[in-house]
Structure 1
Amino acid sequence: MRQYLPVKKFEWPWSRRDNGQNEFSPLIPKSGAAKVEDEELGHVDNEYQTGTPSNQDHNSPTRIQPHYSYSLMDYFLKYFLFLCNLVFTVLGLVVLGLGIWGLSSKESFAQEKIGTIGTDPMLILLTLGFLLTLLCLTGCVGALRENCCLLKMFSVIVLVLITIQVLFAIVAYTVQDQIEGYLRSGMLAAMVGYQDDLDLRFITDEIQLGLQCCGADTYRDWEVNLYYNCSAPGVLACGVPATCCVDPLENGTVWNSQCGVGAQLMDEFTAQSVIFLGGCLGGISRWIKQHEGLIGTVGVVVVGVQILAVFITTRLLENIHRHKAHA
């Protein structure tokens, strides 16, 4: 009867054998996604154990470039240079306009006068105004647009001007006697053209009124003028301009243009009550000696302003280059 009953044999745990392929067995090769997943887990585990990232040997760490920004002082220097150059540009345009107006009002560009335009004092104003406008406009635009080329040009020109001014001051101090001779020649030339050139007349009158002088060395120097020469046929013969008179105003209101008539015929004792006897060269020398401190201060301030402009321009150029390098 036993042989007809289905008896299931019970297997004890220690007697159980697993002859099938188990995917968790380390001796059996894995297949498909399980193999890939195990490799990734093992790779991560190795990184965790070693404490280094997997791409450390392949990719170097990226360095972040620092960003440079302008400081408040940089902006101040930039716009300070811009405003200063703008002011001097306007001043240069005013001087240029005065020069053009002076030449045009005297019709110096006319064909019959174009040959003598080189000796016209207004040409000096025109040239100075043009150069000042061009220089300051270069610095103004260069500072506003941060143009390195214009700023370098501006600083180089200013350095050249500083050098010229310093050399001129040294030369003027060492050759004072020769400068006095040049001034005498210039004064006599202005007296010769006194009646023919309005600019020379204006300059001469202002010097004689301001310094209370007459002529270059003495009031008799006016004999070089064609109209004040004693051989002249006119009423001005042997006379001097009204700006040589001690009191050119009659009753303090009306300008007496005939107050110097016949003054060259008077002796010095009589003439001193009518006109100034001293020449303007002596007056210029006395004025320079009395204002030596002021002249020196003005010269130092002018040169100092130019040096400051060069310093600010150099600082601005450095900031521009630094900003471009970190951009």
Structure 2
Amino acid sequence: MRKHQHYKGAEVSCCVKYFLFGFNIIFWLLGAAFLAIGLWAWAEKGVLSNLSSITDLGGFDPVWLFIVVGGVMFILGFAGCIGALRENTFLLKFFSVFLGLIFFLELTAGILAFVFKDWIKDQLNFFIYNNVKAYRDDIDLQNLIDFAQEYWLCCGAHGPDDWNQNIYFNCTKLNPSRERCGVPFSCCIKDPSGVLNTQCGYDVRLEAELDRQDYIYTKGCVGQFEKWLQDNLIVVAGIFVGIALLQIFGICLAQNLVSDIQSGQSQLVTLQRADSAE
């Protein structure tokens, strides 16, 4: 009478397994936080009750960035967590393949951005012009533009006159807005006392160009952004390299764990066949 045997394949590395699990749990939680913030902001703005606003592509909505990035991070982090914990090769392969695809897309985008930098600059100008037009249409977009202008000490895409594209700030005689011929307060040079005057940009574009320099920033955000990139090239490159290394590290961990699992399964099948042949 044959005795029942307990088969045990090659051991899966606990260090790799739980390190990958920890790596992905952080990834997953960050994705969940981004997704929750995006959905909350989306709901707060009434988009869910007004589906027609979804098709409004006049300006960039920062909420979509949170939703898309958060959604991708949540799905990949979840797949990596469960795949590592349950030793599920399908989920681990899904995680590593899609993380590799994202890495490849990032690398391709970086190369294309370098090769077609003039085209990218034109698209950036077009992007900023569109968002200048939509400045008052979305509170998140408004806050993003205000932050950019305050951080880079700039006004408009190429200068303050770009705000003539916005219906609230244009200088046409038929414009009833009190902000006519003005600029947003974020274009204003900060008061040394730290007092915020939200009306500091009123009528400022009626002044001569030299006189404006006493009240507002006169450099465009495109030029200021390019200057900031050049001044902080090492930091920006370091961030991108760090993100790329983390992605490569995650892919290597997942593939190593998949190899361990498949090796153990293969040895188990071999032992079972050898036993059945006896």
Contact 1:117 1:123 in 2 (8 A): no
Contact 2:42 2:63 in 1 (8 A): yes
* CA offsets 1:178-212 (integer angstroms, 9 cap, x no match): 11111111111111111121121011001000000
Alignment of 1:237-276 (within 5 A): 237-247=180-190, 249=191, 251-253=193-195, 255-276=196-217
TM-score w.r.t. the length of structure 2 is 0.88
- Structure 2 counterpart of 1:202, which letter? N
Alignment of 1:61-100 (within 5 A): 68-70=9-11, 74-100=13-39
Determine the structure 1 residue equivalent to 2:176: 233
Q: Which has the higher helix share?
A: 2
User: Larger relative CO (CA 8 A, sep 6+): 1 or 2?
Assistant: 2
RMSD: 2.0
Q: Distance in 1 between matches of 2:88 and 2:44?
A: 39
Contact 2:10 2:267 in 1 (8 A): no
Q: Distance in 2 between matches of 1:224 and 1:257?
A: 20
Determine the structure 1 residue equivalent to 2:244: 303
Does residue 1:156 correspond to 2:106, yes or no? no
Offset of 1:97 from its aligned partner? 0.8
Going from structure 1 to structure 2, the CA distance change for 1:226 and 1:250 (only over 3 Å counts) comes to farther
Q: Distance in 2 between matches of 1:199 and 1:139?
A: 32
Offset of 1:127 from its aligned partner? 1.8
Please list every run of 5 or more consecutive structure 1 residues that lacks an aligned counterpart in the other structure. Answer: 1-63
Q: Secondary structure at the match of 2:179?
A: coil
TM-score w.r.t. the length of structure 1 is 0.75
* Percent identity between the two aligned chains: 30
Contact 1:158 1:310 in 2 (8 A): yes
Contact 1:82 1:139 in 2 (8 A): yes
Q: Distance in 2 between matches of 1:235 and 1:305?
A: 51
Alignment of 1:1-327 (within 5 A): 68-70=9-11, 74-111=13-50, 113-116=52-55, 120-231=61-172, 232-247=175-190, 249=191, 251-253=193-195, 255-327=196-268
Determine the structure 1 residue equivalent to 2:271: none
How many residues are treated as equivalent by the alignment?
260
- Structure 1 counterpart of 2:155, which letter? C
Q: From the CA coordinates, give the structure whose radius of gyration is larger.
A: 1
